[in-house]
Amino acid sequence: MNNKKTYLFALIPFLVLCILFELIPIIYTSVRSFVPEGKDIGFTFENYINIFSKTLYQKAIVNSLLISILSSIIGLIVAFIGAKAVHESKGKLNNIFMSILNMVSNFSGVPLAFAYIIMFGNVGVMTMIGSNYGIEFLANFPLYSVWGLLLIYVYFQIPLSTLLLIPAFDAIRKEWKESNALLGGTNFTFWTKIGIPILMPSILSTFSVLFANALAAYASAYALLMNNVSLLPIRLSEQFVGDLVQRPEFGSAIAVVLIVFMIIAIMIQNKLTVKKGI
Amino acid sequence: MDTNKKSSKLAIVVIIAYLLIPLVMTLIYSLFEEWIDILPRNFTLNAYIEIFSDAVFWISVGRTILISVVPIILCTIIVLLAMYVTYIYKPEWDKYIQILCTIPYAVQGVILPICVLALYTSVPKPFNNRIFLLISTYMIVILPYIYQGIRNNLQGIGAKKIIEAAQMLGASKFYAFFRVVVPNIMNGVTVSIMLSMAIIFGDFVIVNTLAGGHFQTAQMYLYDVMKKSGQRTCAVIIVLFLITLLISACAFFIQRKKKEEA
Amino acid sequence: MSYIEFKNINKFYGSNHVLKGINLKIEKGQFVTLLGPSGCGKSTLLRSLAGLEEVTDGQIILDGEDITKKEPKDRNIGMVFQQYSLFPNMTVEENLAFGLKLKKLPQEEINERIKKAIKIVALEGKEKSYPNNLSGGQQQRVALARGIVMQPKVLLLDEPLSAIDAKLRKSLQLSIREIHDKLGLTTIFVTHDQDEAMVMSDVIHLFHDGIIEQSGTPVEVYTRPVTSFAASFIGNYNIFEADKISKITGVQWEKQVAIRPETIMMSRTPIENDDRFKMEGIIKEHIARGNVLRYTIDVNGIEIYADALFRSASIFNDNEKVYLSIAERNCVCI
């Protein structure tokens, strides 16, 4: 039939976009991460050695992993309770819940950080109430710390994880619960022996989405603490922009470390979804 | 069974309350002059009047809309063109397109803009133009959503058969894809477009990294106001949040309309 | 020269040989059915006539012209698909006008042709409806109208009724045949349903595994299957190896023999008729199939199927002794 390959021209814009703004930037960064600092060419592992040996950056890695894993786990637990509740009750409340989840999933980044500042910040409402009434916990709330950040991260993880888990509960059939009850099982045995094992792939893949989401998040932390918190995205950014001396080669190595963490998270997710045959 | 249902309802209510508290606090904060005790005092709409009468605010909202719309339109066209090739002529290439459209997940957040910045600040014009970099980076960020949206909708309407039917009626493959199939999937793709819109609208990290102070979007305006007045900041947050809500509400209604039609 | 000719068509999907040297001629105005199980190549042949599949080698002639390398849009062939494939964003009218507009016909002629086509498929009043608001049967009639409104050289129907429920199907079968008779349009119909093929066709080509096993009128194909596949696919024939049929008839046969179940007579008393093969058997089991009872009968250790109309007087019980007779003309050598 038509043996002219003119149709291939239609691929060009896509390829140009992906090559210029996806592949080359990533490859360039990866290559540059092996170049000695301040040099144009050369090969070294020094940038990586520095990341993993200097306390400042070790701390950033630990903090980033800690905050990503903890916020994902807490988010998942709340999401599990929420999605299970949606699964078990029908009606108007479910619709309201879904709408609110969709709504607050847009509430993140700078606005979210500021909302926490007016609640728990130095002159925040809760802080003032705490000091007025002698509630120590509120008066000295550690918002400007990793723990304060964790609170904010948990907030944006909850709507995302709940929205991801609710459809997974559709796989739980009513008949299984009935069979479990007929065979003498309790609600507890149902969830531990049947429900959670069936949901496990969804739970794990949701976890990896949450983990990646938290690991690369930047805006909330930056709005709350500027560069005064040791997190990988903050440390990465300050090597390229801002007041400090710029260290692009070292920064590239941080970027690669982050990308590797992200790829591990995505690969776990892909592997699980393939297994499920979706 | 009944207690089970009650505890489910309670769980949902508690989560809703937890999620709404920061929003409601922000709203109240924006409406009162003073809030240092349990109850806020002196109701006022001043903060809203101030920002609504601030031309800079409207210009930055306008910039945000512009910087969202342009990459979305371009990205949709580019992906449609690529899908035209892989869907009709080279289905075996689709897996590579899919990989290219998944990579952005691995460079989420701060990573991609930093990589782009590192590469392009030192190159000659026009490639180091910040607006150009910003638009291109946004296109990569929304690529996964646009691609998924188009692909799912092509499969959903059975585009293969529709193209064959159009061909049998005298249409070329190009005409069949762009004039028959594309109008039929645009409704569904609008959902991904609105999602992309919400993502770009809420972006701070990319615009802050790539454009810095050179291109003030609504999020950058918000960041500036943050240093000046808490009350006004809250008002800006509420207004921006309502705009985002409007965008996602559009997506939601389109999706529901589509479900009703099917 | 025939109106449509397939000359030595071969088609490979990778190493999979789906059309094995097909030669087929179709005369103008005929209603031809390509019949066969799924995966036999019938649809592939139809789609290569449409231009939607490229053949690996061979030649396709339509109306004296070699169309093997032509684009589908330049072949002037109409096609109706199983999934209707109507354009969901266009009304019935707009669907019908689509191809006519691409042909740049004058508006009056477009209107005229649409009106006629709508009338032929009896969809008056639905011109402004969208496909999603029509039933499956109505959608398929629109698809049919969209095919004939183009006045194509040949109309291809690719399992158009498979997605439609049984009752409606019967009436659509008749209306498709009627439309064919009215317009005299050369029509090629693809189906896996032998009853459908019997009802509708002038000529049936029975496909199996990339080749044409048998061609002929419905009566020929039904009463004279030439291969064991044809016999088993059409009419649920009993198929006997030569030694077995020799054993039960008492006459020496050289080849396999196929016997239709409804040609076997059953009786409680010995049958007195010298022209027929006679035998005795025991009823093993029976199944009701619509208005017919199918018995499985054991004759000297060989299983025979026999059909009898569902009348209470002639119902046999399991394990009952039964006398069978078969006319020689109903024993088809294959």
pLDDT digits (tens, 9 = 90+) for C90-122: 999 999 999 999 999 999 999 999 999 999 999
Write out chain A residues lying below 8 Å of B195, CB-based. Answer: none
Contact list in B for residue A255 (CB cut-off 8 A) is 111, 114-115
Using a CB-CB cut-off of 8 Å, the residues of chain A touching C51 are 1
Assess contact for C257 and C244: CB atoms under 8 A.
no
Contacts of C23-30 with CB under 8 Å at 24 or more apart are: C24/C205, C24/C212, C24/C215, C26/C2, C26/C154, C26/C186, C26/C188, C26/C203, C27/C2, C27/C3, C27/C186, C28/C3, C28/C186, C29/C184, C29/C185, C29/C186, C30/C186, C30/C187, C30/C202, C30/C203
Please give the pLDDT value at position A261. 94
Mean pLDDT score, C133-153? 93
Look at residues C233, C237, C187 and name the one whose alpha carbon lies nearest to residue C209. Answer: C233
Q: Is the peptide bond before B126 cis (omega within 30 degrees of 0)?
A: yes
What's residue A2's pLDDT? 47
DSSP B200-234: HHT--HHHHHHTGGGS--HHHHHHHHHTT-HHHHH
The partner residue sitting opposite C150, judged by closest CB among B157, B161, B169, is B169
The answer on pLDDT for B4 being more than 80 is no
Per-residue pLDDT averaged across A122-126, rounded? 87
**What are residue C291's phi and psi, to 5 degrees?**
-90, 15
**Hey, what's the torsion of the CAs at A21, B222, B62, B19, to 10 degrees?**
80
| CB-nearest partner of B116 from A25, A84, A110 | A25
A72 touches chain B (CB under 8 A): no
What's residue A40's pLDDT? 82
On whether residue C242 sits in a domain, the answer given is: no
The mean predicted confidence, pLDDT, of chain A is 89
The pLDDT of residue C264 is above 80: yes
Interface contact A125-B212, CB threshold 8 A: no
Mean pLDDT, rounded, of chain C: 90
Residue-wise pLDDT tens digits, A216-267: 999 999 999 888 888 999 999 999 987 778 899 999 999 999 999 999 988 8
Between C55 and B212, name the one with better pLDDT.
Answer: C55
What is the rounded average pLDDT of the residues B12-35?
A: 92
Contact C136, C163 (CB under 8 A): yes
Q: Which residues in chain C are contacts of A2 at CB distance < 8 A?
A: 71
CATH number at residue C178: 3.40.50.300
Selected for mutation to probe chain C from B153, B161, B167, B168 (highest C CB count within 10 Å) is B168
Chains that touch A (3 or more CB pairs under 8 A): B, C
Q: What is the mean pLDDT of residues B5-14?
A: 89
Q: Residue A59 above 50 pLDDT? A: yes
Q: Is A2 on the interface with C (CB under 8 A)?
A: yes
Identify which of B164, B169, B261 has the shortest CB distance to residue C102.
Answer: B169
Question: CB of B260 within 8 Å of any CB in chain C?
Answer: no
Residue reference for tokens 């709350």:
A224
pLDDT score recorded for residue A137 = 84
Closest chain A CA to residue C53 = A1
Contact by Cβ (8 Å): C279, C324: yes
Residues C209 and C121 in one domain: yes
State the pLDDT confidence band at C262, using cuts at 50, 70 and 90.
Answer: confident
> Does residue C248 sit within a domain?
no
CA angle B143, B149, B150 (to 5 degrees): 90
* Structural domain count of chain C: 2
Residue B221: pLDDT over 80? yes
Helix (H, G, I), strand (E, B) or coil at A216: helix
At residue A275, the pLDDT reads: 52
- pLDDT > 60? residue A278: no
CA dist., res. A265 & res. A268, Å (int)? 5
What is the average pLDDT value for chain B, to the nearest integer? 90
Subunits with 3+ Cβ pairs within 8 Å of B are A, C
Give the pLDDT score at A251: 93
Question: What CATH number did the domain enclosing C297 receive?
Answer: 2.40.50.100
| Closest chain C CA to residue B170 | C73
Query: How far apart (Å, rounded) are the C-alpha atoms in residues B165 and C94?
Result: 14
Residue C245, domain member (yes or no) = no
**What's the pLDDT score for residue B249?**
81
Identify the pLDDT of residue B260: 65
Between CA A236 and CA A234 the distance in angstroms is 5
| Chains interfacing with C (3 or more CB pairs < 8 Å) | A, B
What is residue C131's DSSP assignment? G
Which sequence spans correspond to the domains of chain A?
Answer: 21-276
Q: What is the mean pLDDT of residues B109-115?
A: 93
CB contact under 8 A, A93 and B82: no
| B199 lies within 8 A of chain C by CB | no
CA–CA dist A122, B36 (Å, integer) = 12
Residue among A103, A110, A252 with most chain B CBs within 10 A, to mutate = A110
Residue type, C35: L
Q: What are phi and psi of C164, to 5 degrees?
A: -110, 145
Residue C284 lies in domain:
260-329
Domain co-membership, C65 together with C159: yes
Among the CATH numbers 3.30.420.40, 1.10.3720.10, 3.30.1360.30, 3.30.420.80, which is that of A21-276?
Answer: 1.10.3720.10
Of B4-13, B197-206, C65-74, C311-320, the poorest mean pLDDT is in C311-320
pLDDT in tens, A165-214: 998 988 888 888 888 888 888 888 888 888 888 888 889 889 999 999 99
- Alpha carbons A127 and A114: distance in angstroms, whole number: 14
pLDDT score, position A1: 43
pLDDT tops 60 at residue C38:
yes
Q: What is the rounded distance in angstroms from the CA atom of residue C73 to the CA atom of residue C69?
A: 12
Mean pLDDT for the stretch of residues B252-261: 71
Q: How far is B11 from chain C (nearest CA, A)?
A: 41
Global pTM reads 0.86
Q: Has residue C247 been placed in a domain?
A: no
Confidence of residue B129 (pLDDT cuts 50, 70, 90): confident
Please compute the mean of the pLDDT values over residues A136-141 and round it to a whole number.
85
Q: CB distance from C168 to chain B under 8 Å? A: no
Is C119 in the same domain as C19?
yes
pLDDT at B39: 82
Sheet of strand C57-62: strand arrangement: C16-26, C4-13, C57-62, C65-66
Tokens of A176: 């299984």
Using a CB-CB cut-off of 8 Å, the residues of chain B touching C132 are 261-262
C228 and C265 housed in the same domain: no
**Considering chain C, what percentage of its residues have pLDDT values greater than 90?**
58
Tell me the mean pLDDT in the region A51-77.
94
A182 versus B138: which is more confidently predicted? Answer: B138
Res B41: pLDDT? 83
User: A277 pLDDT band (50/70/90 cuts)?
Assistant: very low
Segment A50-54 shows an average pLDDT of 92
Tell me: pLDDT of B68 over 90: yes
Q: What's the rounded mean pLDDT across residues B122-150?
A: 90
The answer for residues whose C-beta is within 8 angstroms of residue A181's C-beta and 6 or more apart is A190
Residue C143 sits in the same domain as residue C70: yes
pLDDT category, A272, cuts 50, 70, 90? low
What single DSSP character describes residue A169? G
